[in-house]
Amino acid sequence: MTGTAIAKVESDRTRGTFATFYVADLFFGVDVLRVQEVLRSQPMTRAPRGPEVIEGLINLRGQIVTAIDMRRRLRLEPRAADAAPMNVVVRTEDGAVSLLVDAIGDVLDVESDAFERPPENLNAGARALIRGVYKLEDRLLLVLDTERTVDLACGRAAQQPEQICP
Amino acid sequence: MQEDQEIVQEFLVESHENLSRLDQDMVELESRPEDAALLASVFRTMHTIKGACGFLGFTVLEKIAHRAEGLLALLRDGRLRLNPPLVSLILEAVDATRSVLAQIEATGQEGSERFDQLIDRLEAAAQENRSRPVEPNPAAAPPEQAALRADPAKPEDETAKSSASADANIRVGVGLLDKLMDLVGELVLARNQILQFSTGREDAALNATSQRLNLITTELQENVMKTRMQPIGVVWNKLPRLVRDLSLSLGKQVHLEMEGAETELDRTIIEAIKDPLVHLVRNACDHGVEAPEARQRAGKPAQGVLSLRAYHEGGQVNIEIADDGAGIDVARVRQKAVERGLLSAELAQKISDREAFNLIFSPGFTTAATVSNVSGRGVGMDVVRTHIERIGGIVDLSSRPGEGTTVKLKIPLTLAIIPGLLVTSGGEQFVIPQVSLLELIRLDSGSSEKRIEYVHGTPVYRCRGALLPIAYLNDVLGLQPSRSGDAVSIVVLQAEDRQFGLVVDGISDTQEIVVKPLGKQLKGLTVYAGATILGDGRVALILDVPGIGQCSGVLAESQEQVRGAAEHTKQAKVDHQRLLLFRAGSFERIAVPLSLVARLEEIPAASIERAGGKLVVQYRQRILPLAPLASLLEGGNADAAIGDPAQVIVFSDGERSLGVLVDQVLDIFEEAVQVRQCAARKGFLGSAVVGRRIADFLDLAYVLAACGAEWSQQHKAGGPAATVLVAEPSAFTRGLIRNRLEMAGYIVLDAANLEEAVRQLERRGIDLVASAERLPPGGCSGLRALLRDRPEWKNIPVIALRGTEADLDGQIAEALHQSVPASDHSTPPAPQPAAATVA
């Protein structure tokens, strides 16, 4: 088990094709093989009492998919009211989950030697969810850890207590 | 090879069927030993198994079957008379066969067990008889022969029937049926969408087609559902054997009657009621039916009757388990309930008999004076109820002293597609499962304000003379409140054994819905049972009625805990520990691990003094700082809440001590803690069920910090503290360990899994790792192996945690002490900022 865990981390580091997207001024990449599809803004059913980062549920061809707002997940300021988010549907261990992002970027091939650990001074909310950084010529590509992103227990700070029954 | 596999698989399926028939036949045979046809059938079944075993080369199995068959042959030929020990012996052979089959199923091999002893006994039983043959009884033999001869048509009939049915039936994998059911579910949703779409158009052709689609889909749905239906007899089959074995071991005589075994239920439901049913039958045998002497004394036949009845009623299946035993003594139930603290003595007298009977379903409840190995431990009836309610069923119990007890289960036919009521609230649509729905009430605008009344600020509605507690869905879910003055719609719901009214903004429609599970991010919410897709393609959440009831507080407390405990037993980690329970301010039940507590003291209020704005008391020639817990947690005046004498819990690590002022020390519990919820407010680690009621776990680190934090500062002065990484999957346990270690002066980092642990290790210098044995993935040993592989980490000592060890800090101190001379840490313990706060 241990061996595979390490191997997984290693392979993620060296693989180089990423689907990219923007959340506020951050530029993210997700391993292209993990991305199921990218959709325009979808009709959303809210889940009252649910965790704040969950925007709601969407109907993806008969499949019910949870949508996580990446701005809230990364504890960034909210999106402008008139800006419609895009859905990046990623495959996770527990099925498909949609990540709501600001805009979609290109699919990029990157060199493995451009990889580095996330910088220490990165936004604390974002840090826990980022595997590392690729130094591209004009900007930094942050590699998003999708499993941790959809695991809401990860990187949750004390100021965001889960709602509970009174 | 593939073909062989298939043949073996076929053989396994067939043998299992044969064996369950054998079980039944043998029990029946015991009551009718003269039934030649039955005996012949038993013999044939065993023979079939033996034949197949020989063919497939399963020698052990063949040997068992062969000996059992030999014995049966003697019985059939009338050379041996059937008696209970013989039946037991043959049943034992059936069990042995079953265990070998299980082995084959799992490994493809027969396994190493030879069952020599059993085979010898089978042989001996046959031998014993042979050496002392029953003299050919001319009177007995001919009728038997005659019976066989007179009946030649019967076996042939049977074979003819079975071969005919073999032609008309095919075996289909359950997986395929489940897939079909899923697809039909999708089709139903698509149909709903088309219907909604077509009603808005003036297109005759489209309307006609969609109507046809509607009819066909409904029919398809019904038929596919039928494919998954199984007679309840599938579960009942094993009960005769169970009752026989039980009554033998209990020294009772119980006759089992079954009626309606052909009643069909969806297989998922059959699965779900299997265990509850067995439990109820065990209970009836153990507690219900009395010993033969007692029965005769009461003027009843020595043999008790346990009857099972299943029948359809109003789209549901009713199952009744009735015994003609002593019944339940209501007075005793009341008394036990008071003893167990389930309700007060006055209330116990007030409640109706029916309500009193329902107390039996409370966790930990038993009226049994003695605990037998069959039942009486008090775990059971609550589990039965939880299981039945989980599938949307209802359990009801009635009993008459001296006449017996009847348990009635009402179970829905299927789970996959359910009728639901569509309601709107705060602009969102929700579905309420129809099973929970009792009635709809609409109050016209104007009058509504008058009709909903308030008792102590709690809204209630007078529904035909009874007060119905009211919850507002908008409030429960935190949605926009509806405009007041409008008409009010109340949905009257049934949850557990109570009713409550849920006020919604609007009621739209009923619809057949397909229940789809929620993603794990929303799984923890008790207010939703799932989600579905509506006719317009939108997603709607399905409300969990008991969950809504709990969250709004309309269901009484005891119910809440039953549910909470049951729901969380599964996924929650279980910790055995001793807990001290106490009360402070508005917090009725606060818990701390007893291992952290040094002493409990009562001190006169007059002896409490103030020093530097803090409360202190002179205690054992020292000054003990006091933390007034109620005001710490709630704010407010510290002096107001102190009673006389003041109750103080003293926490100590040998040199330093802190007294926590509480209102009352309640109890000490030693039990498995089921973690319910992480903390929502400062000062608590989280909540858990302790002694069947919710308790909040105090965060000692917070209390220490709040009353000046001298403790941790003092310790810091003693030099850089060692950094300990706690790798433990449960956040709750982590919190407890962290608490303890921080009190002992360590700097604590934590990790929920291996990956996080590695991250922490990479980030900081860590002196010691305490890892849970079940740390995912790979456990503690996985972590150890990983540390060994990295030269800079290989000297870090690792302690394996099984739970929350009481002497953990001692272990850690020792491990650190040992590791220091040997290791040369390349990364010295980094100085850390003030103790990490645990919030």
Report pLDDT digits (tens) over B370-407.
444 444 444 467 778 878 877 777 788 888 888 888 88
Within a domain: residue A73?
yes
**B528/A166 CB distance under 8 A:** no
Searching chain B, which residue's CA lies closest to the CA of residue A97? B519
The strand order across the sheet containing A54-60 reads A35-39, A86-92, A95-101, A63-69, A54-60
Point out the residue among A1, A45, A48 whose CB comes nearest to the CB of B778.
A1
Give the amino acid at B636.
G
Point out the residue among B479, B680, B777 whose CB comes nearest to the CB of A1.
B777
Q: What is the ipTM of this complex?
A: 0.82
Whole-angstrom distance, CA of residue B264 vs CA of residue B8? 29
- Integer CA distances (angstroms), B511 to B192, B423, B503, B528, in order: 8, 11, 20, 18
Chain A contact for B462, CB < 8 A? no
Query: Whose CA is closest to B120, among B145, B78, B89, B166?
Result: B89
Searching chain A, which residue's CA lies closest to the CA of residue B480? A48
Within a domain: residue A4?
no
Chain B contact for A132, CB < 8 A? no
Within a domain: residue A134?
yes
**Residue A65: its pLDDT value, please?**
93
Strands B466-472 and B488-495, by their bridges, are unpaired
Point out the residue among A9, A59, A161 whose CB comes nearest to the CB of B533.
A59
Point out the residue among B426, B533, B540 whose CB comes nearest to the CB of A62.
B533
3 state SS of B626 = strand
**B522/A54 CB distance under 8 A:** yes
- Integer CA distances (angstroms), B41 to B44, B61, B101, B157, B395, in order: 5, 20, 21, 13, 38
Query: Whose CA is closest to B730, among B804, B836, B805?
Result: B804
Within a domain: residue A163?
no
Whole-angstrom distance, CA of residue B580 vs CA of residue B570? 25
**Residue B168: its pLDDT value, please?**
72
Chain B contact for A119, CB < 8 A? no
What is the 3-state secondary structure of B158-226? HHHHHHHHHHHCCCCCHHHHHHHHHHHHHHHHHHHHHHHHHHCCCCHHHHHHHHHHHHHHHHHHHHHHH
**Residue B315: its pLDDT value, please?**
66
Whole-angstrom distance, CA of residue A43 vs CA of residue A87? 11
Contact indicator for B40, B148 with CB cutoff of 8 Å: yes
**Residue B676: its pLDDT value, please?**
55
Kindly report, residue by residue over B495-528, the tens digit of the pLDDT: 766 788 999 988 888 888 888 878 888 877 888 8
**Residue A101: its pLDDT value, please?**
95
Query: Whose CA is closest to B707, among B825, B811, B624, B587?
Result: B624
Q: Using alpha carbons only, what angle is made at residue B818 by residues B817 and B822, rounded to the nearest 5 degrees?
A: 115
Quote the number of domains for chain A.
1
Q: How far is A31 from chain B (nearest CA, A)?
A: 19
Point out the residue among B477, B778, B783 whose CB comes nearest to the CB of A49.
B477
**B522/A66 CB distance under 8 A:** yes
Q: Which residues contact B164 (CB under 8 A, 6 or more apart)?
A: none
**A57/B541 CB distance under 8 A:** yes
Chain B contact for A66, CB < 8 A? yes
**B777/A163 CB distance under 8 A:** no
Chain B contact for A133, CB < 8 A? no
Searching chain B, which residue's CA lies closest to the CA of residue A2? B782
Point out the residue among B476, B541, B752 whose CB comes nearest to the CB of A47.
B541
Point out the residue among A4, A49, A65 whose CB comes nearest to the CB of B525.
A49
Please give the backbone phi and psi of residue A24, each rounded to the nearest 5 degrees, phi first: 55, -125
Sort out which chain B residues have CB atoms less than 8 A from A153's CB and list them.
731, 752
**Residue B143: its pLDDT value, please?**
39
Please give the backbone phi and psi of residue B352, each rounded to the nearest 5 degrees, phi first: -75, 165
Q: How many A×B Cβ pairs under 8 Å?
A: 112
Searching chain B, which residue's CA lies closest to the CA of residue A152? B521
Average pLDDT, consecutive stretches of 10 residues, N- to C-terminus, chain B (839 residues): 68 80 80 79 80 77 82 79 81 84 79 78 74 44 39 42 57 84 84 84 87 91 83 86 86 88 84 85 84 87 90 80 84 79 74 75 62 47 78 80 85 76 90 88 68 76 80 86 72 81 88 81 82 84 86 59 37 53 81 76 80 76 79 67 75 71 77 59 74 76 66 43 78 71 72 80 77 74 78 78 64 67 39 35
Within a domain: residue A11?
no
**Residue B485: its pLDDT value, please?**
58
Contact indicator for B101, B64 with CB cutoff of 8 Å: no
Contact indicator for B710, B765 with CB cutoff of 8 Å: no
Chain A contact for B457, CB < 8 A? no
In a mutational test of the B interface, the residue from A44, A57, A121 whose CB has the highest number of chain B CBs within 10 Å is: A57
Range of the domain at A90: 16-156
**B522/A153 CB distance under 8 A:** no
Q: How far is A123 from chain B (nearest CA, A)?
A: 16
In a mutational test of the A interface, the residue from B183, B194, B423, B520 whose CB has the highest number of chain A CBs within 10 Å is: B520
Whole-angstrom distance, CA of residue B617 vs CA of residue B419? 65
Chain B contact for A150, CB < 8 A? yes
**B786/A166 CB distance under 8 A:** no
Within a domain: residue A28?
yes
**B521/A9 CB distance under 8 A:** no
Assigned token pair, B470: 């009211």
Chain B contact for A165, CB < 8 A? yes
Q: How far is B19 from chain A (nearest CA, A)?
A: 39
Contact indicator for B524, B655 with CB cutoff of 8 Å: no
Contact indicator for A7, B755 with CB cutoff of 8 Å: no
pLDDT band at A100 (very low <50, low <70, confident <90, very high): very high
Strands B664-678 and A54-60, by their bridges, are unpaired
**Residue B326: its pLDDT value, please?**
82
Within a domain: residue A2?
no
Sort out which chain B residues have CB atoms less than 8 A from A94's CB and list them.
519-520
Chain B contact for A158, CB < 8 A? yes
Chain B contact for A97, CB < 8 A? yes
Length in residues, chain A: 166
Assign residue A43 the CATH number of its domain. 2.40.50.180
Kindly report, residue by residue over A15-74, the tens digit of the pLDDT: 578 999 999 888 999 999 999 999 998 889 999 888 889 999 998 877 889 999 999 988
Whole-angstrom distance, CA of residue B391 vs CA of residue B794? 51
Within a domain: residue A121?
yes
DSSP state of B505: S
**A2/B525 CB distance under 8 A:** no
Assigned token pair, B185: 């579910």
**Residue B154: its pLDDT value, please?**
41
